[in-house]
Amino acid sequence: MAVGYVYNPIYLKHDTGQHVEVAARLEAIISHIEQTGLTSQLTLIEPRPATVAEIALVHRREYIKEIEEKAARGGGWLDPDTVMSAGSYEAALYAAGGLIRAVEAVMAGEVASAFALVRPPGHHATSRQAMGFCLFNNIAIAARYALAEYKLERTLIIDFDVHHGNGTQEAFYDNPRVMYISTHQYPFYPGTGSIEETGSGAAKGTNINIPLPAGCGDAEYLKAFEQIIVPAAQRFNPQLILVSAGYDAHRADPLATMEVSVGGFVQMTETIKRLADELCGGRLALTLEGGYDLNALAASVKATFDVLLGNSASDPRSNKRAT
């Protein structure tokens, strides 16, 4: 079955200047998968802009309007970490809509799995606040869309970005139809994600945080996957798996102090794909979150696609098996 990817140059219109979350991140990924011939094995999924109603599945309408008006005024800083430009509102609509299109393609059986290569990222954005480089919470919007559009009873979100997805946690903290599982460096930005945060009401136990100390690498992450994520997913038995794929836990990343290798991301993706095949007919959609060393990011995303395609996941920067 085909593997899809979402991309459009419109994501480059989110101009962040000298910020660490820059258009060059996507340019490095696209250049690398083109140079290695991978795009010929993938199905391009053209994104569409999410509607205001779709964004409002997660975000307050007055907040959406605030972002639109800020862009119309030329952009600016939203908090000490998060900046936007005149093109950012449109790019953010296409980022959320891009992941929705990935979900639509997966649910329709057009592709077995899909990876939305979008920006701005999303998992820190709350219902009323931009933060952590994020404007709209792409994965939360797509999950709410999938629940409503396809009448799903259970959707699983796995987040392996090095930072806790506080916005995604907030969106589903009291919703038993969505299980959110996050591996993240802790204590670290944004300060949430303790093991005690497990959900509320009928959703108690469906929010699973796996806080990890600085310096953890492949062994610690894979142990968390096998001992916590796999059995939790099997108990929840989702009908769709969504992934916040952040690669800033890589040992070369400048924003964190974890020690994950490209090979570690390969094994995490293999585990997630195995869960999707076992539990929900392979239905799997990923969206790009963090990852700020351009070489490590491009190598890790390429290796992720290799896993989805069933290729030998070699390290594209070294002619060696990813280690």
Task: Report the relative pairing of strands 43-45 and 3-6 from DSSP bridges.
Answer: parallel
* Alpha carbons within 13 A on the beta-carbon side of 5: 22
SS3 261: coil
Measured CA to CA, the distance from residue 160 to residue 245 in angstroms comes to 6
Question: Helices 294-309 and 23-35 meet at what angle, rounded to 10?
Answer: 50
Task: Report the relative pairing of strands 320-321 and 314-315 from DSSP bridges.
Answer: antiparallel
Measured CA to CA, the distance from residue 81 to residue 263 in angstroms comes to 30
Measured CA to CA, the distance from residue 113 to residue 103 in angstroms comes to 9
Among all residues, which ones are annotated catalytic? 124
Query: Which of 212, 175, 183 is closest to 289 using CA atoms?
Result: 183
Q: What dihedral do alpha carbons 111, 115, 120, 122 form, nearest 10°?
A: 90
Measured CA to CA, the distance from residue 247 to residue 256 in angstroms comes to 10
DSSP at 227:
I
User: Which amino acid belongs to residue 78?
Assistant: L
Give me the residue label for tokens 């040992």: 251
